[in-house]
Structure 1
């Protein structure tokens, strides 16, 4: 039987401590998920890490793509956690990813932070189809330091954030042509697009017209702009350093670096917290040993993605590499 863990774990409790053989249920009410044991482990006990990247799921075949800083680069899994292959060694260190369709073929967009600072568009075999970098755009405002996020719009427009540098957000056309830049570094100010570590990005197609959803990590909030970079408004504040988001129906899942995943509705109301870690020493801690992490809890969620069935795949920022599948239980 699964071990049940409350969405809000009481301080001092350790449900299922270090038990990596039994599933754990997190969330409550309509939003319950089973943390699937051993999901994504590599053959022979090989480490999948370091994980400091993103997760995307192909809606066509359900395959899950996980970026790492390790030599194997991007790991490809079946939905059940079976390892398929590794791809794109030249794209090691995708800090964030998004997924789309190009002429009916699945393509992946990555913001590469390690080895080379660039945005790449690749196919599912790992071949580079397009690059946006200092070589193609040497005069990019604010320079190429610290690319952190990438998102693609329905019309093929590409957005990238420079959260470890200028904090600008750049918009490019479908074929990589530079369009504009907006934002910059600052504390929240009414009506202004400013961030402190602009991190993950997502084009939010729950709205018509679509909006750009921005993870403003160190200002601890999410906000919307339109696709021209004009301020729309804050969605939620007082988060635990949001790093990435994913959309499923009207739900939004947030990877928060300080030890939890949060679900919002379309209006920005908090529905539940998942895997909320009561051990604050593990929050945003890259060096936590895997066997020291309680099943069903997170230490440093950095990337995540829903699949077509509403399951959530979460990557912790971790030296050894950690992936968790949260299997949706309620409808």
Structure 2
């Protein structure tokens, strides 16, 4: 969330020099000389900041959304984001304590409603799936240690409890089940990653019948050190599970039967979650940027890259310390149908940003 007023943004910009951007880092308006300090009209820099490279250049939308219910801040953001067919944006919350657990916004940044109550605070990862013409939101409910399926009006369809059938949680001294991400296969199978727990991936069928468990802790291919996020990757024509192996700084592919396929991208900055648009994948990296990989799974663009490493992966960054178009701890990410991006920073006050895709003609490329 952009929590600063335009007046305070201008004041903050006037009191600090603009950092010289590197390739792939945030760029101000192209007409400005980036080697000089912020001009007197520094508001022009903070209003719309471009970042990225090649065909993946984005521009931030300042002051994107309203505060819900006259709050001064949105509340703690430590969850996921999804976008429905109408373009409405749903993102999960960790606070305030009275809820709601999921907020719904329009594409132009207007607060529409709270979708579920305080009992569903702590929905860590989200995905959206269309079934027989109706859309549903699936959540890895970290606080409730369960998976949940919602209708878009907040009605609970079902809940998936701790997968005791797996045998991975029999030891009372072992790590507790702490689900962080969820994905749905074309046949309706549900996959939940235990990213803050024992590092397993659990699979159920569309009728919530347990099928299998795979993965486990480790650094070798096919193992995890914080299997934080998961998505369904259909770019090759064959659906695969794309899993964010956060503390190993990589992405891994598995088939829908849980068999390891490949480590596809390494050297990332603590990948948390992914979203797909055509052949592109956006990756929320907790260490201060959003990366985009192409069909070869190579990083081709970096958005909102934060040059201040002291802010990377920091929950306590204050609103007045945030800079337009620069991320602190990207945790959730989602494309919309047009290829624009919504990014959630992990933050105590709450922050969700919108970035518009600057589409280029073939000649411009």
- For residue 31 of structure 1, what is the aligned residue in structure 2? 56
Comparing 65-74 with 274-283, which one deviates more in the overlay? 65-74
Task: Describe how 1:67-216 pairs up with structure 2 within 5 A.
Answer: 67-70=92-95, 71-89=99-117, 90-114=119-143, 116-134=144-162, 137-143=163-169, 145-187=177-219, 189=220, 192-216=221-245
- For residue 249 of structure 2, what is the aligned residue in structure 1? 220
CA 1:123–1:233: 2 relative to 1, 3 Å = same
Match of 2:284 among 255, 260, 274: 255
Say yes or no: does 1:287 pair with 2:319: no
Higher strand share: 1
How many pairs are equivalent? 321
Structure 2 runs not aligned, ≥5 long: 1-17, 28-34, 170-175, 361-365
- For residue 8 of structure 1, what is the aligned residue in structure 2? 25
Shift of 1:103: 2.4
State the SS of the aligned residue for 1:218.
helix
Shift of 1:261: 0.3
Rg larger for: 2
Q: Give the Cα separation in 2 of the matches to 1:151 and 1:14.
A: 46
Segments of 4+ in structure 1 off by > 6 A? 12-20
Structure 1 runs not aligned, ≥5 long: none
Comparing 308-317 with 150-159, which one deviates more in the overlay? 150-159
State the SS of the aligned residue for 2:77.
coil
* TM-score normalised per structure 2: 0.83
* TM-score normalised per structure 1: 0.92
Comparing 241-250 with 83-92, which one deviates more in the overlay? 83-92
Q: Deviations over 1:258-296 (max 9, x none)?
A: 000000001111111000000000000000001201111
State the SS of the aligned residue for 1:199.
strand
Q: Give the Cα separation in 2 of the matches to 1:168 and 1:20.
A: 45
Kept in 2: contact 1:20–1:37 (CA 8 A): no
CA 1:120–1:297: 2 relative to 1, 3 Å = same
Q: Give the Cα separation in 1 of the matches to 2:57 and 2:75.
A: 28
Q: Give the Cα separation in 2 of the matches to 1:264 and 1:21.
A: 27
